[in-house]
Structure 1
């Protein structure tokens, strides 16, 4: 994008209204809407030309057979207000110039009836502003009924075919998850059955505990399996390495967070089964014959007391009893906060670490080897190490990165450029993300942000918006450290610059957006600051397209200033994409796309005409290779 003079943001609507005071009583929003309704009725009754004539007469307030600048300016101003397009009056002036230039009326300074007709003749799609929604729906229904009466059988076959194709597509996209879910359920059934049968056939155990021991040991084996599996989805670095291999075609890496939640629910179910079964075991143990107890445990429990409460206390005082109580307490505190994860994330985050304590306690749960040699530690020690090692590493000075640049952008967005750590060089891919900690703001909080830099660049870059307490505090801190400019645009030197800022980074971590290299057609969709992973992918595709043949980027924002975040990249796409394989479309959602209002239709037509000829986007107020669409 080539910057032009900024639009006069301080200008108000009163300036325009004062210029056209004689037009305002006639061109209120209510008058425009009633005019459009009457044109719709004219269109349905007498046809296209009559509707165009009626619209021209309604807009011709002076009744002199022509639309001069003041009349066009007035109805475009009212149309902009109707659709929610808040721009300076100079934008409306430019739109009037573009419309008059489009019809060849730049010299006469007015639009005649012939000019007005010419707009709709050259652009018949604009005639839909005379259609009402009810008639459009009726026409579609009549066409559909007519087709059913003539080719009903063929349409039904096509519909059945489409249903089958849709079902096949759903299966194809989710079959990996279904297959692995089936394997997971099967593994739990096998684990429970294996251990349950083993203890059902162990007579000395059933003599003391009855069938309760079957449920307790079966659920214990499932807990070992699930406590092993629940750690794997949060071993981000390990999964990142696996995602870079061919295994990504056989395992649903994009569903690991959901699997973490499902396994957590399974653990809760098996814990309830295990604890309930052990309560039954304790009850029977307290009343069992001492000879049967000695036959099962030998001298592992020492002297067996005779009292019921003493026997309960004996079991609770064992390592299995103590660690079991610790694990249950950790779950009682941590699990309720998972229900309030979105509303009270910090509370959820800190209490969730109690489950790490639970897993560590599980390693020592069977240390007494009362019924069999303990094995829990062998189930969880590898996943636990894969999770804890990166967590400890990021707290060391090795995770610090040098701040290279700070950019404060429109819309409360911060651009943070850091020196790339050497450990990232072999593993970084476009579409990845990293965790950031700013010790001056908080020594405990790490927040994930997607990389907007490409792997070929010798730095890493993040963009994030002010969206909460932490991002707000970081924004304020970086704003104080960011370079300032004087009125002439020259940078003002600062004593305290970005080199005094300590930023820690963990990564790079794989994400679903990095799988773009496996496809010939890439569709990227981003909303607001959520476009950041797409920016990294676009940068990479510009340099190394690979097997990509076409790329589509759809970016929606609410604020016009947001389009300035990545202006240089958009210009690079336009300049470098000689084969036109990349299509970029921008959407401004704060403005309504009202194709039933003739003023709004002509206003949009004028902005498109201006952009076609000069690449100047009236909505943005600057030159832009990709025109902004509304709605």
Structure 2
């Protein structure tokens, strides 16, 4: 059953993942075989298999660099989500994959890092070999009985179309020139590669969970170094230092490689002619870069639209509620917005789930003050004072969104399971409000017949701001004769002492819960999901 359920839920995900792997493997193989062909025989003879490996990794890097921007184009994701919703042939299993956008973004990022390491290491050894070849070092050990061909290629003081070794130096007659590192850095591919490596190191190291949670601003700033990443990707291949041979018909490699001293003399073996490699990265990256620029323009335009802070509410447990209004703002239950407060930072945008529902005349977010930015926001909103701040004196805020999440599909099912932890309950505040108001308005189109709501809280204070709404929904559904519509299960994982435990025990027989004051009792500890899912499955066959 578990395997069958996994296939039903994630079969399309596995198919898409497999296609992505096939695309990577196929393109890697194609480019690898291209550089194993006669067109690159002489440069491959000098370097070895490291050339084909490096170039194949670079090609797959281009493919993944194209893909990595698309999952973070939120308006593009929202557009496809809307197209899927209006297209009856587009199943929910297809829409669900759009909710994996950040997972795919991270997967592609890991792939880029692995490919970059392989590409860089391979080219480091390649350039070391070319440098030694230019300086006539370790020739016998490297080329053995083909030393004559190696010497011929090293004597490449040909016209512009004849050189093959990019290591040139200032005085090739002396076998000298610049040192190895400087020879590499002066090339376009060299210095742009160094910048790419530094940018990737900064972006990857600052994207770890610890940095994201503890030093979000550091993560935000370094992640925007992707601008330099793409700039360097576009110029990295402009030097064209890996050259291909263009006179293979006249210069028969199968014959000429064995008689290098007869080149230019034997009519079968004219001097080889090479041309610069052409950059290919722009072919892959221009379209996603254009889409991302369009995405940013749309988000910038929306962020400049005026937002009115209509109310600031201080809730227990350091929770701050902001109620706002914005012309033309339309949302669905469970969606989220990005919020910026210019008086704190002009560059920082933070995502928050909407806790209001479309039926209300405003939109709101509940923010728990746990970090530097949220604490500063509470301060400028006057939440750290006893007296409320007049709305005319509140700072301005900018809003970008709303953007969709998986939870907006809840109304397309007959039974739904909602699971939230701590402040992560906020999307279900919007959903439950919307269910409540739809039932008040007697909307017969409401397909939803049963909601199982699970809320796992770390301490007793976390209940305070949300339990009032649960109580109101519970009473309303009971009045409508639908008391079994909402079955909520609140789990308290810690935060009680011996005195509280005794009080809970003594009030066990009371009609209302000792902690929340609600009709349904609080559970203590963590949910046993296997048992819960089995029970719900039995209650809702099919």
The secondary structure found in structure 1 opposite 2:206 is helix
Kindly provide the CA deviation profile for residues 14-71 of structure 1, in whole angstroms up to 9, marking residues without a partner as x. Answer: xxxxxxxxxxxxxxxxxxxxxxxxxxxxxxxxxxxxxxxxxxxxxxxxxxxxxxxxxx
Structure 1 CA distance, aligned partners of 2:507 and 2:495?
Answer: 13
Paired residue for 1:263? 108
| Structure 1 residues 602 and 380: alpha-carbon distance in aligned structure 2, compared to 1, 3 A threshold | same
Greater helix proportion:
1
- Cα deviation for residue 579 of structure 1 reads 5.1
Structure 2 CA distance, aligned partners of 1:217 and 1:407?
Answer: 58
| Structure 1 residues 591 and 470: alpha-carbon distance in aligned structure 2, compared to 1, 3 A threshold | closer
| Structure 1 residues 171 and 295: alpha-carbon distance in aligned structure 2, compared to 1, 3 A threshold | farther
Given the alignment, which residue of 184, 187, 196 partners 2:20? 184
Indicate conservation of the 8 Å contact 1:559/1:588, yes or no: no
> Does residue 604 in structure 1 map to residue 475 in structure 2?
no
- Cα deviation for residue 519 of structure 1 reads 2.0
Given the alignment, which residue of 309, 312, 322 partners 1:416? 322
Kindly provide the CA deviation profile for residues 123-170 of structure 1, in whole angstroms up to 9, marking residues without a partner as x. Answer: xxxxxxxxxxxxxxxxxxxxxxxxxxxxxxxxxxxxxxxxxx122112
Paired residue for 2:451? 551
> Does residue 404 in structure 1 map to residue 294 in structure 2?
no
Deviates more, 1:474-483 or 1:344-353: 474-483
| Structure 1 residues 226 and 503: alpha-carbon distance in aligned structure 2, compared to 1, 3 A threshold | same
Structure 2 CA distance, aligned partners of 1:171 and 1:593?
Answer: 45
1:473-488 to structure 2, matched below 5 A, reads 473-479=376-382, 484=387
For structure 2, list consecutive stretches of 5 or more residues without a partner in the other structure.
85-89, 135-152, 244-276, 525-542
Indicate conservation of the 8 Å contact 2:185/2:191, yes or no: yes
| Structure 1 residues 524 and 535: alpha-carbon distance in aligned structure 2, compared to 1, 3 A threshold | same
Given the alignment, which residue of 219, 223, 229 partners 2:67? 229
Moved over 6 A (4+): 299-303, 591-594
| Structure 1 residues 296 and 290: alpha-carbon distance in aligned structure 2, compared to 1, 3 A threshold | farther
1:497-516 to structure 2, matched below 5 A, reads 497-498=391-392, 500-516=394-410
| Structure 1 residues 556 and 591: alpha-carbon distance in aligned structure 2, compared to 1, 3 A threshold | same
1:302-317 to structure 2, matched below 5 A, reads 304-305=168-169, 306=172, 307=175, 309-310=177-178, 313=182, 316-317=185-186
Indicate conservation of the 8 Å contact 1:401/1:419, yes or no: yes
> Does residue 272 in structure 1 map to residue 165 in structure 2?
no
Residue correspondences, number: 442
Indicate conservation of the 8 Å contact 1:205/1:296, yes or no: no
Indicate conservation of the 8 Å contact 1:209/1:281, yes or no: yes
1:344-363 to structure 2, matched below 5 A, reads 344-363=215-234
Q: TM-score by structure 1 length? A: 0.62
Kindly provide the CA deviation profile for residues 539-562 of structure 1, in whole angstroms up to 9, marking residues without a partner as x. Answer: 333426643221222334433573
Kindly provide the CA deviation profile for residues 70-122 of structure 1, in whole angstroms up to 9, marking residues without a partner as x. Answer: xxxxxxxxxxxxxxxxxxxxxxxxxxxxxxxxxxxxxxxxxxxxxxxxxxxxx
> Does residue 220 in structure 1 map to residue 114 in structure 2?
no
Paired residue for 2:190? 321
| Structure 1 residues 482 and 519: alpha-carbon distance in aligned structure 2, compared to 1, 3 A threshold | farther
Indicate conservation of the 8 Å contact 2:380/2:395, yes or no: no
Q: TM-score by structure 2 length? A: 0.72
Indicate conservation of the 8 Å contact 1:585/1:629, yes or no: no
Indicate conservation of the 8 Å contact 2:157/2:163, yes or no: no
Structure 2 CA distance, aligned partners of 1:554 and 1:308?
Answer: 73
Structure 2 CA distance, aligned partners of 1:329 and 1:245?
Answer: 40
- Of structures 1 and 2, the one with the larger relative CO (CA 8 A, separation 6+) is 1
Paired residue for 2:8? 172
Kindly provide the CA deviation profile for residues 227-264 of structure 1, in whole angstroms up to 9, marking residues without a partner as x. Answer: 11222222222112223333552362333322222222
- Cα deviation for residue 434 of structure 1 reads 1.1
| Structure 1 residues 559 and 277: alpha-carbon distance in aligned structure 2, compared to 1, 3 A threshold | same
Paired residue for 1:249? 93
- Cα deviation for residue 354 of structure 1 reads 2.4
Indicate conservation of the 8 Å contact 1:482/1:498, yes or no: no
Structure 2 CA distance, aligned partners of 1:439 and 1:170?
Answer: 45
Structure 1 CA distance, aligned partners of 2:2 and 2:190?
Answer: 53
| Structure 1 residues 296 and 171: alpha-carbon distance in aligned structure 2, compared to 1, 3 A threshold | farther
